[in-house]
Amino acid sequence: MRRREVASALALLSRQALPSLLSIALALLVCFFAIALSKSDFAVAADAYLQMLWGGLGDLPTFFATGNWALLTRAWGESAAKAALLTFTGLAVSVAFCVGLFNIGAQGQMTVGAIVAAVIGAKLHAPPGIHPILAVVGAAGAGALYALLPAVLKLRRGVHEVISTIMLNWVAVSLVENWLVVGPLRATASGDLSRSGTDEILRTAELPRILGSLSRLNAGFVLALVAALGVWFWLKRTSHGFEARAVGLGMEAARTAGIDVRRRVYQAMVLAGALAGTAGAVWVLGTEYKFPATVGAPYGFDGIAISLIGQNHPLGVCAAALFFGLLRAGGTRMQLLGVHKSFPELIQGLALLFVAGRLIWERFLGSGAKPRAAPIETTRA
């Protein structure tokens, strides 16, 4: 009996995960040929992939030859830092998906969270154990409020959240990067050195490093894993989570069943914004130690890719974030071979495209899936 349950769970898992795994494999393949063709050399492409792998996992061959652990821990720290951010923004997108909202605004929510964390980290004085917690909570709160806005606009005024979150992204980026960071919050110049970004956060606000000086691996990664588990628990094991999923499957049906649709949507968007805001906090308190001149990387948009490649399942999101975090940390090593460090982002984008078009190759693979409507229904209020 028990064995049968495990078997069916595994079958379900593989059925859910298979399309994503195949999409990733296909993206890796296409990108392999892209490098091979651009360099007219398959050996270079193979070498580039190997460098990417060693860059993310740690240089295993040299490690086995020398036994130097720092080779591994350093790489793990970089991968984990990227994976933590991707997990948070991925969860921010997938939680909103659960109630049928497409949260394109993770980038803006993360930016707002990051600036709040940078301010609390630099201006507030608190003991070491408490300071990072205050900064993370502040950032999560700011992100949550910023995500609540599109939810209110949707439910009260019928404004589609895709449009409003895109607009709010650029509002946040413009106000934070082109006003706060270059204006009121600009770093105080010390001597002749002009500095970009905000003041550095105090030592007390830094997220503690787990392996000390061996690696930049910090508590943010643990926080991300806990968040993924927490979201999973909320969605699958609490009545609020159950109702949220019901809302996502059909707002009208959920309303008829007596679910307070409005409250569930607000709740999910607040949670989504808090997660994206925490991504900003982890980025500032764990790796940058200040709000630099610009966020630079589109982590919020990456969250969309991670969420969908992870099939909107919290643990799937976590797995996808780990994988792409690893690739992207490894991307820096590809530069040795003249491949741009953003190359893993191309792999990620293509994987998302293949997930979007999964019905095509599912038909060719003959997996028996009947063409049906898009997996995510974009609800209209």
Please report, as ranges, the residues that interact with another protein according to CB under 8 A: 34, 38-39, 102, 104, 153, 157-160, 162-164, 166-171, 174-180, 182-183, 298, 301-302, 304-305, 308, 338-340, 342-343, 345-346, 348-350, 352-353, 355-357, 359-360, 371-376, 378, 380-381
Tokens of 18: 């298979």
Instruction: Tell the burial category of 149 from Cβ atoms under 10 Å away from its Cβ (0-12, 13-18, 19+).
Output: buried
CA-atom Rg of the chain in angstroms: 22
Q: Which is nearer to another protein, 124 or 162 (CB)?
A: 162
For the bound state, the minimum distance from the C-beta of residue 354 to another protein, rounded and expressed in Å, comes to 8
| 3-state DSSP of 198-265 | ECCCCHHHCCCECCHHHCCCEHHHHHHHHHHHHHHHHHHHCHHHHHHHHHHHCHHHHHHCCCCHHHHH
For the bound state, the minimum distance from the C-beta of residue 377 to another protein, rounded and expressed in Å, comes to 9
Q: Which is nearer to another protein, 136 or 305 (CB)?
A: 305
**Cα–Cα distance, 119 to 139 (Å, whole number):** 10
For the bound state, the minimum distance from the C-beta of residue 251 to another protein, rounded and expressed in Å, comes to 15
For the bound state, the minimum distance from the C-beta of residue 109 to another protein, rounded and expressed in Å, comes to 15
Q: Which is nearer to another protein, 259 or 352 (CB)?
A: 352
Q: Which is nearer to another protein, 237 or 380 (CB)?
A: 380
Q: How far is CA 18 from the centre of its chain?
A: 21
For the bound state, the minimum distance from the C-beta of residue 96 to another protein, rounded and expressed in Å, comes to 12
Q: Which is nearer to another protein, 76 or 146 (CB)?
A: 146
For the bound state, the minimum distance from the C-beta of residue 338 to another protein, rounded and expressed in Å, comes to 7
Contacts of 278 (CB under 8 A, 6+ apart): 88, 113, 136, 139, 140, 143, 223, 227
3-state SS assignment for residue 218: strand
Q: Which is nearer to another protein, 162 or 214 (CB)?
A: 162
* Cβ count within 10 A of residue 284: 33
Q: Which is nearer to another protein, 167 or 214 (CB)?
A: 167
Q: Which is nearer to another protein, 229 or 369 (CB)?
A: 369
3-state SS of the chain: helix, strand, coil percent to 5?
75, 0, 25
For the bound state, the minimum distance from the C-beta of residue 214 to another protein, rounded and expressed in Å, comes to 31
In this structure, are residues 281 and 114 in contact, taking their beta carbons and an 8 Å threshold? yes
Tokens of 78: 């970089």
**Cα–Cα distance, 331 to 343 (Å, whole number):** 7
For the bound state, the minimum distance from the C-beta of residue 373 to another protein, rounded and expressed in Å, comes to 6
Comparing CA positions, the residue from 366, 89, 70 lying closest to residue 220 is 89
